[in-house]
Amino acid sequence: MTLTPEQKQTVTSWVAAGDNLSTIQKKLSEQFQLSLTYMDVRFLVDDLGLELKNAAPKASTDIGKAAPADPAGGPTTPTEKLAEEDLADEAEDFDAPPGGGAVKITVDHVTLLPNALASGTVTFSDGVTGKWIVDNMGRPGMTEISQPGYRPSPADAQAFMQELSRTLQKKGL
C-alpha cells in the first residue's frame, strides 16, 4: 500500500489531531476509498513514524494499579523489572459503577488461540473467573467460565467491556 505525499500528510494531521486507529481507518475509507484492515492502519501509522495520542477520555471513576506480588524481594535484572512493569499494567483494577464490584482483567503476553488477536483472564466482582478472547474480527468472547451457565450482572458486563477496551487501547491493540 503506497500513499501519495498528500495522503501521508493528511494521515499525519489526523494523528496530530488525536484520532485513534479506527477513526483513521474510517477516514481513509471515506476520503480516499482505501479499504485497510485495522492492523494495516496500525502499520501505516508506524511506517510514517507517528505516535498516537491517548485520545480516550479518562473514566470518571478512580482507576488504580494493584501492586504485583513480590515473591523474593523484588526484581534484580532489567528483564525482571520490565516483566514486573508489564504485570503491573495488566493487573489494573476498574471500579465498576454502583451496583457492581471491581472487575479485574489480565492480558496474555502471547495469544496462542487460533483466530484470536488477544486473550486473557477476567475476575468478576462476585469472584467468578473466566478466560476472554478478542477474535480477528474484533469481537470479544468468553471461554472457560468457572461457574457453568454464569451470566455477569449488567454492571459487571459493562465494567468488563470498559476495562477490556481501555486495557487493549493501552497495549495498542
Domain extent listing, the chain: 5-47, 78-171
Please, which pLDDT band fits residue 12 given cuts at 50, 70 and 90? very high
Cell of 35: 479499504
- What distance in Å separates the CA atoms of residue 171 and residue 89, rounded to the nearest whole number? 9
pLDDT per residue as tens digits for the range 127-158? 888 888 888 788 888 888 888 888 888 888 88
The pLDDT assigned to 63 comes to: 42
pLDDT per residue as tens digits for the range 32-87? 888 888 888 888 888 888 888 864 444 444 444 444 444 444 444 444 444 444 44
Task: Decide: pTM greater than 0.75.
Answer: no
pLDDT per residue as tens digits for the range 111-129? 667 777 888 888 888 888 8
**Better-predicted residue by pLDDT, 166 or 86:** 166
- E strand segments, the chain: 93-95, 102-107, 116-123, 129-135, 140-143
Cell of 172: 495498542
What percentage of the chain has pLDDT greater than the value 90? 6
Closest CA to 111 of 84, 143, 81, 79: 143
Q: Which residues, 6+ apart, have CB-to-CB distance to 103 below 8 Å?
A: 94, 96, 122, 123, 124, 125, 156, 159, 160, 163
Cell of 60: 470518571
The pLDDT assigned to 79 comes to: 45
Q: Is 90 exceeded by the pLDDT of residue 13?
A: yes
